[in-house]
Homo-oligomer: A and B are copies of this chain.
């Protein structure tokens, strides 16, 4: 019945992560999380589309922090890296290695190959939160465990 608004943030995110031309945002190896390269994302997706595939005006903002705010509003949580996080290829050229900001985010309703789950991605508004009042009620920064 109720499909997902293709202009909503989760729908845009889904299209981006499944778009091979966009290298800045992709699935993690397990397909359960999102990897976003901040610098590359700013060039490719934000700031006016001089990027590769011409993501013309996909988002109104030019600030990466707005993307993070949206992720949190839709219930995504940051996954602590620290472990694998694929090795830096660093072939040779380019040189300026630059402090990488590779963000890893996860939502139980955003999994590779499962577009059917997108309908469960709700914006965490006051009213929506009231509806889910009986939920486990995670605190703002999960004190310890976070992978559910």
A residues neighboring B (CB under 8 Å): 1-8, 11-12, 15, 42, 46-48, 50, 58, 60-63, 65, 80-83, 96, 98-99, 101, 119, 142, 144-148
Contacts and interface: CB of A to CB of B under 8 A. Distances in A.
B4 A99 contact: no
Number of copies: 3
A52 B19 CA distance: 38
Given A60-B60, A99-B46, A119-B144, A6 B80 contact: yes
A5 B145 contact: yes
Nearest to A62: B99
A143 to B, nearest CB: 8
Nearest to A122: B144
A5 B144 contact: yes
A69 B99 CA distance: 19
Contacts of A15: 82-83
A80 B3 CA distance: 12
Q: Which of A8, A12, A99 has the most CB of B within 10 A?
A: A99
Given A60-B60, A82-B12, A5 B99 contact: no
B144 A2 contact: yes
A50 B99 CA distance: 11
Contact of A144 (B4, B12, B80, B145): B4
A40 B89 CA distance: 25
